[in-house]
Structure 1
Amino acid sequence: MADEESPPAPEEPTEKPGDHAEDGLDLARALTRASARSTPVRKPRKKGGGARPAPGRSSGAHPDERDPQPLDTTVGRIVADHGWDLNLRVQGVFARWAEIVGPEIAAHTTPESFADGRLVVRTDSTAWATQLRLLAPSVVRRLNEDLGHGTVTVIEILGPHGPSWKRGSRSVRDGRGPRDTYG
């Protein structure tokens, strides 16, 4: 085995810039080094997820924005980005209405809408509307404990819907129905 010659080492670049070794490996190495130094790291895109790694860059041992994220973190970020936080909390109050006001009041009242600090609540009778008007300050206080101070400023309490006299066999065009029964 001592008779075999080892392959010749690639020639070093000569002093002339246009001269290269016949196999071209020195030119390939020089181009690779130059492109690695000049390739910038890409910044994260605004929409569509994390950043793409630059050539030659891979994810390390520590988590970064390109790794899979937990669903609650992702949904929380979407809610915060779109400003849906207050709306979701208010809808949560609507879903937990019986917990907040108690089962007896919840059986006779229904929250209908919330806008600009005004909560609209519908009752099933005028007696419950009067009762809820008396309890309004404590209900506002309890709602603000859940939603944040000053979120609910006024509760608008509506009585029951009266029957419509617009249709039926005894309706009269432009008639308003009986006025002495539902007042």
Structure 2
Amino acid sequence: MTDPHDPVAAQWEKLRGLSGPAKKTGDDLSASPVPLRQPFNPRRRGAKPKRMKTRYDGRMDRSYRDPGRFGDLVQREVRRNGWNRNFAVGTIRGNWEGIVGEDVARHTRVVMYKEKERQLHIECDSTAWATNLRLMQTFILQTIAKKIGGDVVAELRIYGPRPPNWRKGRYHVKGRGPRDTYG
């Protein structure tokens, strides 16, 4: 089929013969299969090169290095370090309005959490709101147990408003102070 006097065609046939027999497929334009390229990995200098997964464009596939979703990673670290209770208390502080409702949250705030006693300290705007919150205490504890977990808060300590401090300066004379209830 080729002209024996054509040097280019003869060279072409010679190269085709070196690559092995060509596979006959329907739309195959190449005469010989192209060997798959292996990406360079500098960590395996002395070892025999191993076939690594590549993407469709030839770049190395790094999906095995994917750490997953960020939220899953944070939860795994929280569990591993034993920060479950601390994050639960942070969730209570951040979602206080969702736990007790808008009206109550406007007049109350979470002041502190004592981990050993599992006490949540809450301060109210007035003594009336403190009394109302003491009546709602079991409902609030049930809601916290349902949303956050039962082993986080065992007791609520509810306080009224703090009176202003009249003690100013270095020197102070003991006495009864101002006579008002502030609440």
- Asked if Structure 1 and Structure 2 have the same fold, meaning a TM-score greater than 0.5 normalized by the shorter chain, the answer is yes
Unaligned runs of 5+ in 1: 1-51
Normalising by structure 1, we get a TM-score of: 0.59
Higher relative contact order (CA 8 A, sep 6+): 2
The aligned amino acid for 1:173 is V
Note the alpha carbon deviations across 1:43-100, whole angstroms, 9 max, x for none. xxxxxxxxx8894567668x99961312333222221111112211221121111111
Identity over aligned pairs, percent: 30
CA distance in 1, matches of 2:168, 2:135: 36
> 1:177: which partner in 2?
177
Sort the Cα spacing of 1:176 and 1:149 in 2 relative to 1 into closer, same or farther, 3 A.
Answer: same
The 3-state SS of whatever aligns with 1:107 is: helix
Separation in structure 2 between the aligned mates of residue 122 and residue 105 of structure 1, nearest angstrom: 11
What is the rounded CA distance, in whole Å, between the counterparts of 2:135 and 2:50 in structure 1? Answer: 67
TM-score, length of structure 2 as denominator length: 0.59
Question: In structure 2, do the counterparts of structure 1 residues 58 and 111 end up closer, same or farther at CA, with 3 Å as the change threshold?
Answer: farther
CA distance in 2, matches of 1:57, 1:78: 33
5+ long unaligned stretches in structure 2:
1-42, 55-60
Residues paired across the two proteins, number:
128
> Aligned ranges for residues 48-87 of structure 1 at < 5 Å?
55=47, 67-70=65-68, 71-87=70-86
1:130-145 alignment runs, 5 A limit: 130-145=131-146
- Give 3-state SS (helix, strand or coil) of 2:121's partner: strand
* Whole-angstrom distance in 2 between the partners of 1:73 and 1:130: 41
| Amino acid of the structure 1 residue aligned with 2:65 | D
Aligned-residue CA RMSD in angstroms? 2.9
